[in-house]
Chain A
Amino acid sequence: MKKRMKKLASLLLASAMVFSLAACGSSGNDADGGSDSSDGKTTIKITWWGGDSRHEYTQALLDAYTAENPNVEFEATPAGWEGYFDKLSTQAASGSMPDIVQMDYLYIATYAKNGSLADLSEFIEDGTIDTTNVDDATLNTGLIDGKMAGIVAGTNALAVTYNPEVLEAAGVEAPTDDWTWDDYIALNTAVSESTGEESALTATIGPFGDMNFFNYYVRQHGETLFNEDGTALAFEDDSITADYFQMWADMASANVTPDPDEQSQIATLGIESLPVVTGEAGTTLEWNTYPNKVVASNPNLKLALMPGATENNAMWLKPGMFWSVSESSKVKEECAKFINWMINSEEANDIIMAERGVPISSEIRDYLKSKEDVDQTMIDMFDYVDKVTEIAGECPAADPGGIAEINKAFNDAGNSVMYGQATAEEAAASFRTQANEILERNNG
């Protein structure tokens, strides 16, 4: 017995050492940022954020590309959203950014303006990245200061996801395309009264978690959130902000929407087990990719337009995420080829299955829709984008520098109303002061 324990212990020790050696091996050449080695093989370092399913299929995607192009190898660093940009910023600071980076609209301007991202225009011009089937408005969301800082991986739009079974059980009609915020509140109030649970969810982040929902609300009033230089808020009427805070605070005190305390508990559940998926809540505000993302947990979720979506072209198509190439990369052309393959090849999109948003190539969209075993949620997702395209206004410019701090200020202001520590008017005024100070400091 003792001998066996000893053997086991030494085996464990040995394997631990092997692992740490392997770890050394991969971190040892981190600083190179991709390399053309003498045997003609190219190594591309790539990083992205996401959940387990995205990690799995993305790895399959890389393997498929290597099978087709044996001279290209990948070194992948998958990560969760939490901490992804913390790590990326340190890598950028030390000049060791991976070659291909999954980039968010939130930060692309920050990175592009600091010269960390390569200009991909030359690869579009010489045809390495084929954009003939991509509409210009979508493509140009990656254009920062005249440089193509990233190629859109997929588009999406704000949407209400609802659970038809919950709505039916509560005896309310499914939302129509011309519904308003009042209809939205009435519907969720009815569901909450019938279930005894909060019905109006706002993803995992809450209605103040980032600026997207509020941005939409501002656009509904025919206004713009940030000014062109990103140095101040563009809209001038604080009652817009106050109304938004008050609307959610009223819903929270009526137990129609989660208060910040309940919200922090919901945030720990993960997107697959939000109450709207498990049948305890009626609706959630999310991106239109949501029902398709959670199709394995509940295949019956449906999409509805945002309340009041037809007012003032408030809707927009947002680049879900970008593929960017780091300026420090030595294998930019190979990176461009791979990005092109992901965007335009049927083979790649058979694996991606629009998980990163609705594909930007119209040909690929048609191809995926015509596939035999396609999920209904995916067809809904594509149709939703078509519907939004008809009523959408211009996509807002990439988020200005300092956006993370603004998100925080907005969240605190909104929550202080929910906690009853400030009136909606006070919170709105305080948010304006803080936001303008942050914007001026970062972009002035």
Chain B
Amino acid sequence: MKNKVKEYKRRDNIAGYVMLAPWLFGFVLMYFLPMLISIYYSFTDYNLLNDAQVIGFDNYVRIFTNDDTFWQALKVTFIYTIFLVPLRLAFALIVAMLLNTKHRGLGLYRTIYYIPSIIGGSIAVSIVWQQIFGNKGVVMSLLSVLGINQEVSLLGNPKTALAVIILMGVWQFGSSMLIFLAALKQIPGSLYESAMVDGAKKPTIFFKITLPMLTPTIFFNLILQMVNGFRVFTESYVITDGGPLDSTLSYVLYLYRRAFTYFDMGYSCALAWILVIIIAVFTVVLFKTQNNWVYYESGGE
């Protein structure tokens, strides 16, 4: 009897792995092996065309001691992430709560609000943003109609360009919104009912019931969006190309440039691994703080 159960389990496992095989195959070939290889390359002077020579920690030393652009890119990426994540989550939560009522045509709204997340990372939308916020763009024209004559556009000004990029990131709140929406529907109606019976006001209900019940979802979204934030590329690549004066140079854009424009693949691999470590550290720290603010109904399992 016991053997039979084992046998079934084994068969189940095999079936599972067979189903997984296409993904596993892709993962190993497209992600895992290249990652391993990139560790090796980060210790070489590989430039895409030569035979790589191992040079020890030279790349890492150069990054930390002799590369101002690295610090600039790091600064830009941190500012971007620090502003993007709370803003995007707050926005997503507000819209999710608005959509969590019984309206006619709710499905349509949901779809519409999700659209930016699907198309947001595309080249076409980036070009539209360029036309809106760039020189001779819509915003500049509107401002001059109002009598405010701007010398430089929002995208052309090193002080404001990053804000536009962040705004575009916030605008792509759709996936967080959907997750919030699902979580909101999970909160038992009985909690709200008893709160109403006790005469609780709306803000109190929000802070005492909705928010605590949402903390696991917020935590999940936080991790997801933080990683996304550190990986920002398309916006700064297409809209501003990192400019003006590197004020929107994201870390991944710099890494890309090092590899494919400056023929500095080894160095670029080292940059990539530093980013991996940074993201890992942040994720671990977030997980450590989890006990202090995330509330699991089932007792933290």
> Once bound together, how far apart are the Cα atoms of A260 and B243, in whole Å?
10
In the complex, what residue of chain B is closest to A441 when comparing beta carbons?
B62
**In whole Å, how far is B256's beta carbon from the nearest beta carbon of chain A?**
9
* A86 and B260 form a contact (CB under 8 A): yes
In the complex, what residue of chain A is closest to B262 when comparing beta carbons?
A405
* A261 and B49 form a contact (CB under 8 A): no
* A404 and B156 form a contact (CB under 8 A): no
> Once bound together, how far apart are the Cα atoms of A404 and B264, in whole Å?
11
> Once bound together, how far apart are the Cα atoms of A259 and B261, in whole Å?
25
Query: Which residues of B sit under 8 angstroms from A259, Cβ to Cβ?
Result: 152, 156
* B49 and A116 form a contact (CB under 8 A): yes
> Once bound together, how far apart are the Cα atoms of A374 and B273, in whole Å?
58
Give per-residue flags for B116-149: 1 if the beta carbon is below 8 A from chain A beta carbons, else 0: 0000000000000010001110000000000000
* A90 and B244 form a contact (CB under 8 A): no
Contact of A262 among B130, B135, B263 (CB under 8 A): B135
* A264 and B262 form a contact (CB under 8 A): no
* B261 and A416 form a contact (CB under 8 A): no
* B261 and A260 form a contact (CB under 8 A): no
> Once bound together, how far apart are the Cα atoms of A177 and B246, in whole Å?
39
Query: Which residues of A sit under 8 angstroms from B243, Cβ to Cβ?
Result: 260, 264, 415
| B153 contacts the other chain (CB 8 A) | yes
Contact of A412 among B130, B134, B246, B260 (CB under 8 A): B246
| B157 contacts the other chain (CB 8 A) | yes
Query: Which residues of A sit under 8 angstroms from B135, Cβ to Cβ?
Result: 261-262, 264-265
**In whole Å, how far is A118's beta carbon from the nearest beta carbon of chain B?**
14
> Once bound together, how far apart are the Cα atoms of A111 and B152, in whole Å?
40
| B215 contacts the other chain (CB 8 A) | no
Query: Which residues of B sit under 8 angstroms from A396, Cβ to Cβ?
Result: none
| A284 contacts the other chain (CB 8 A) | no
| B175 contacts the other chain (CB 8 A) | no
| A19 contacts the other chain (CB 8 A) | no
In the complex, what residue of chain B is closest to A93 when comparing beta carbons?
B48
> Once bound together, how far apart are the Cα atoms of A85 and B152, in whole Å?
32
Give per-residue flags for A395-421: 1 if the beta carbon is below 8 A from chain B beta carbons, else 0: 000000110110000001001100101
Q: Provide a sorted-by-A list of 25 A–B residue pairs whose CB atoms are within 8 angstroms.
A: A86-B260, A89-B260, A89-B263, A90-B48, A93-B48, A93-B49, A110-B49, A110-B263, A111-B49, A261-B135, A261-B153, A264-B134, A264-B135, A264-B155, A268-B130, A402-B262, A404-B261, A404-B262, A404-B263, A415-B243, A415-B244, A419-B158, A419-B245, A421-B158, A437-B66
* B262 and A260 form a contact (CB under 8 A): no
**CB within 8 Å of B: which A15-68 residues:** none
Contact status of A261 and B157, CB under 8 A, knowing A268-B130, A412-B245, A416-B245: yes
**In whole Å, how far is B2's beta carbon from the nearest beta carbon of chain A?**
49
* B49 and A90 form a contact (CB under 8 A): no
| A211 contacts the other chain (CB 8 A) | no
**In whole Å, how far is A401's beta carbon from the nearest beta carbon of chain B?**
8
* B261 and A86 form a contact (CB under 8 A): yes
Query: Which residues of B sit under 8 angstroms from A110, Cβ to Cβ?
Result: 49, 263
* B152 and A92 form a contact (CB under 8 A): no
| A370 contacts the other chain (CB 8 A) | no
Per CB-CB distance, the 5 closest pairs between chain A and chain B, nearest first, are A261-B156, A114-B49, A265-B135, A86-B260, A93-B48
| B47 contacts the other chain (CB 8 A) | yes
Give per-residue flags for B155-168: 1 if the beta carbon is below 8 A from chain A beta carbons, else 0: 11110000000000
> Once bound together, how far apart are the Cα atoms of A401 and B245, in whole Å?
23
* A265 and B49 form a contact (CB under 8 A): no
Query: Which residues of B sit under 8 angstroms from A416, Cβ to Cβ?
Result: 245
- Most A Cβ at <10 Å: residue of B134, B158, B245: B245
Contact of A260 among B66, B136, B244, B263 (CB under 8 A): B244
| B50 contacts the other chain (CB 8 A) | yes
Give per-residue flags for A415-437: 1 if the beta carbon is below 8 A from chain B beta carbons, else 0: 11001010000000000000001
> Once bound together, how far apart are the Cα atoms of A85 and B49, in whole Å?
12
* B245 and A264 form a contact (CB under 8 A): no
In the complex, what residue of chain A is closest to B153 when comparing beta carbons?
A261
Query: Which residues of B sit under 8 angstroms from A116, Cβ to Cβ?
Result: 49
> Once bound together, how far apart are the Cα atoms of A268 and B155, in whole Å?
14
* B244 and A419 form a contact (CB under 8 A): yes
Contact status of A261 and B244, CB under 8 A, knowing A92-B48, A110-B263: yes
Query: Which residues of A sit under 8 angstroms from B262, Cβ to Cβ?
Result: 402, 404-405
**In whole Å, how far is B43's beta carbon from the nearest beta carbon of chain A?**
17
> Once bound together, how far apart are the Cα atoms of A110 and B50, in whole Å?
10
> What 16 new A-B contacts, CB under 8 Å, besides A111-B49, A405-B262, A419-B245?
A89-B49, A89-B260, A90-B48, A90-B260, A259-B156, A261-B153, A261-B155, A264-B134, A264-B156, A265-B134, A265-B135, A265-B136, A405-B261, A415-B244, A416-B245, A421-B245
> Once bound together, how far apart are the Cα atoms of A415 and B243, in whole Å?
10
> Once bound together, how far apart are the Cα atoms of A115 and B47, in whole Å?
13
In the complex, what residue of chain A is closest to B68 when comparing beta carbons?
A434
> Once bound together, how far apart are the Cα atoms of A421 and B156, in whole Å?
14
**In whole Å, how far is A265's beta carbon from the nearest beta carbon of chain B?**
4
In the complex, what residue of chain B is closest to A406 when comparing beta carbons?
B262
* B152 and A261 form a contact (CB under 8 A): yes
Query: Which residues of B sit under 8 angstroms from A264, Cβ to Cβ?
Result: 134-135, 155-156, 240, 243-244
Query: Which residues of A sit under 8 angstroms from B155, Cβ to Cβ?
Result: 261, 264
- Most A Cβ at <10 Å: residue of B153, B243, B244: B244
* A114 and B152 form a contact (CB under 8 A): no
* B49 and A92 form a contact (CB under 8 A): yes
* A415 and B49 form a contact (CB under 8 A): no
**In whole Å, how far is B26's beta carbon from the nearest beta carbon of chain A?**
17
**In whole Å, how far is B233's beta carbon from the nearest beta carbon of chain A?**
14
Contact status of A89 and B48, CB under 8 A, knowing A110-B263, A262-B135: yes
**In whole Å, how far is B132's beta carbon from the nearest beta carbon of chain A?**
13
Give per-residue flags for B248-278: 1 if the beta carbon is below 8 A from chain A beta carbons, else 0: 0000000000001111000000000000000
In the complex, what residue of chain A is closest to B127 when comparing beta carbons?
A268
> Once bound together, how far apart are the Cα atoms of A416 and B246, in whole Å?
11
Query: Which residues of B sit under 8 angstroms from A92, Cβ to Cβ?
Result: 48-49
* A114 and B244 form a contact (CB under 8 A): no
Query: Which residues of A sit under 8 angstroms from B136, Cβ to Cβ?
Result: 265
> Once bound together, how far apart are the Cα atoms of A31 and B59, in whole Å?
31
* B48 and A415 form a contact (CB under 8 A): no
- Most B Cβ at <10 Å: residue of A110, A261, A262, A437: A261
> Once bound together, how far apart are the Cα atoms of A116 and B152, in whole Å?
44
> Once bound together, how far apart are the Cα atoms of A405 and B260, in whole Å?
11
Query: Which residues of A sit under 8 angstroms from B66, Cβ to Cβ?
Result: 437
